Structure 1
Amino acid sequence: MVPDPDQSIVATRRQRRHSGSRTSRRRTDRRPGFPLTLAALEGLAVAGAQVSVHVADLDRGSTVLTGDDFVTLPVGGLGVIPLLIETAAGFDDGTVDPARLVKRDDLDPVSVSGIWRHLAASELSLTDLAVLAAAQGDAYATNALLEATGIEAITRRMVDLGMRRSALLDRVRDERGPDDAPHVSLGTTREYATLMSDLVGGRAVNPAVSAQVSEWLTIGQDLSLVGAATNLRAFGHDDDAHGLLFLNRTAYDDTGVRAEAGVIAGPRAGLAYALTVCFDDVSPLHRDRAHHAFRTLGTELMENVH
């Protein structure tokens, strides 16, 4: 059952700025529509791409868009989300010290993403690393959190969260050899959209953990896919003047994987979404077609929440 929206992070963040007036104008009698998104995804599928999508209405608790949402696909950096949940749970129950310092030189070198490798600071706390992992999917930060929590604990946590078709398999690597897991993580859009809904609804582990992870994800800086339609500032969009709430995590892979999961909420509705596209990245045009599908979804999400 979906909790009262007035008790969720979605409503709380809007009420902080607008004293509840936005929530009171919500319309719950309008079913969201996504005709352009469906057309874009069908075009990708006809061209040979694997596509999976799931969008859920936060107020109704109903699915409003679905397509192969049960299929497990590579989702790259989306595995950061359950990693952040396990990290926040460790902070909350005292099994992980948020002030513990991690030395970058103690980690295996990795250069695929992130800012820490460019910083002069060679030691950061686990709290700071959680911020970097959430905001940028920083490779060093992600691997440090994975070492602090342990992949077995994350696996158990994902099962507890109902993510039986998803898994975080390995740390971030520059190259994957024959003895390494073929992907960082696998997942279904149904499970990741549900996870995002549970986070903003306070149901992921407990309200405190849900709130912490949601706050981390609201500072995500990648607005190049679904987030492009929001026209928010990439480096500061956690208090939008129009009452728009947006939190997300994106995933890129040089093998042709694009994935994103998030929540977008406005005065009309709140929606949790996940989209994964696996395609042949043989040219910039192929990549643009895949990215276009994400941007189209973002446009139609915006049309439905505002």
Structure 2
Amino acid sequence: MGIPDPQRSSETQQSRRGGHRRPRRAAATRRSFTATWKALDDLAASGARVSVRVDDLDSGATLLAGDDHETLPVAGLGIVPLLIETAAAFEEGRLDRLEIIDRERLPRVAVAGVWQHLLAPALPLADLAVLASATGDALAANALLGRVGLDAVRARLEELGLDQTALLDGFRNERGPDDAPHVAVGTAREFASLFASLVNTQTVSPGVSAQVSEWLSLNVDLTLVASATGLDPFAHEDDAHGLLFVNKTGRGDGIRSEAGVLAGPRAGVAYALLVAFDDLSIAHRLRAHDAFRTLGVELMEYVY
């Protein structure tokens, strides 16, 4: 990552020889994000595929971009378009927030979440949206998907102009040859844009944007980019130091993704970082995590 454009032809030749092509970056403004570029360079050199985008919320200027057009698997980050369609269905009256969903009627899935461990065998749709947002609950997400429908989510993404983002399937314990290879795919460019649209109340309607942002503000996974914020993962809606933070992460075998909005006293950013890597060891995984945390530190320096 960080190879200047004049070397584009040599990068292409390296790719054709089977080498690892490092994502090309756009010119950064105000900050160079030097440490982030180095961390992402190291990831790319190890064979990972990396897509990153950071935009200034006020000016819309692109602060950081590297292969932000490349479509990568995003795992649980794909819950975000599902939440958007769910909130729209609530607002339009197509779904009742208090409709009760019986867990026993759903296929078992144990990849993530807490509903499978709760005593309550049935919950209303609005509570399932909270579980899916806050904990990435796979069973809750599948329940929402079963009610809104995959076609409706795809139509909503098309309406929003997100051509390279797709929710492909629900969560499964195992994926067979007849199943979609991933839960969801997307690009850093589109996810950064989507989060900016949410916090600016421009996604579907102000009410839908506010509802989805509120759900996502409950996310307890602050271990990647968000680890640099120092926020309480269980209560970060009203930060005493003036930070506004909304995010969603995705995790799977060889997949780490995060998108969100971070705003402080000086500035605000919408960001997305997607990484697909060979999850061969803890060292490979930690290298990916370090890149997210490095980005978080430099984002904090920018907004605060």
Normalising by structure 2, we get a TM-score of 0.90
Structure 1 counterpart of 2:176: 177
Structure 2 residue identity aligned to 1:261? A
Structural mapping, 1:205-244, within 5 Å: 205-244=204-243
Counterpart residue identity of residue 282, structure 1:
L
Structure 1 residues 235-290: Cα deviation after superposition (integer angstroms, max 9, x where no partner): 11000000101111001102x01000000000010100000111111111111100
User: CA separation in 2, counterparts of 1:32 and 1:170?
Assistant: 38
Q: Give the distance between the partners of 1:57 and 1:41, measured in 2 at CA.
A: 20
Alignment check: 8 A CA contact 1:158 1:167 kept? yes
* Alignment of 1:125 onto 2:121: no
Kept after mapping to 2: 8 A contact 1:53/1:69: yes
Counterpart in the other structure of 1:87: 86
Please state how far the C-alpha of 1:72 moved relative to its aligned partner. 0.5
- Which whole-Å CA distance do the structure 2 matches of 1:33 and 1:135 have between them? 32
Offset at 1:61?
Answer: 1.1
SS in structure 1 opposite 2:96? coil
Which whole-Å CA distance do the structure 1 matches of 2:179 and 2:32 have between them? 41
Deviations 1:18-48 (A, max 9, x none): xxxxxxxxxxxx8243111111001111111
SS at match of 1:51: strand
CA distance in 2, matches of 1:301, 1:49: 22
SS at match of 1:288: helix
| Residue equivalent to 1:294 | 292
Unaligned 5+ segments in structure 2 are 1-28
Match of 1:47 in 2: 46
* Corresponding residue of 2:64: 65
- Give the match for residue 185 of structure 2: 186
State the AA in 2 paired with 1:209: V
Name the SS of the counterpart of 2:108 in structure 1.
coil
* 1:303 counterpart letter in structure 2: E
What residue in structure 2 maps to residue 274 of structure 1?
272
Superposed CA deviations along residues 189-230 of structure 1, whole A, max 9, x for unmatched, are: 000000000000010001110000001111100011001001
Q: Which residue of 1 is the match for residue 283 of structure 2?
A: 285
Q: What amino acid is aligned across from residue 135 of structure 1 in structure 2? A: A
State the partner residue of 2:139.
140
Is contact 1:33-1:304 (8 Å) kept?
no
In the alignment, the residues of structure 2 paired with residue 180 and residue 152 of structure 1 have an alpha-carbon distance, to the nearest angstrom, of 16
CA distance 1:268–1:33, shift in 2 (3 Å):
farther
Partner of 1:258: 256
The DSSP-based 3-state class of the residue aligned with 1:98 is coil
Aligned residue-pair number: 276
CA contact (8 A) 1:51 1:276 kept: yes
- What is the distance in 1 between the residues matched to 2:31 and 2:143? 40
Measure, in 1, the Cα distance between the counterparts of 2:42 and 2:118: 42
Deviation digits for residues 156-188 of structure 1 (CA, Å, limit 9, x no counterpart): 100111110110000000000001000000100
Corresponding residue for residue 26 of structure 1: none
Highest RCO, 1 vs 2 (Cα 8 Å, sep ≥ 6): 1
Identical aligned residues as a percent: 59
| Counterpart Cα distance in 1 of 2:292 and 2:236 | 19
CA contact (8 A) 1:33 1:300 kept: no
Structural RMSD (CA): 0.8
Q: Secondary structure at the match of 1:90?
A: helix
SS at match of 1:264: strand
1: distance between equivalents of 2:213 and 2:30? Answer: 26
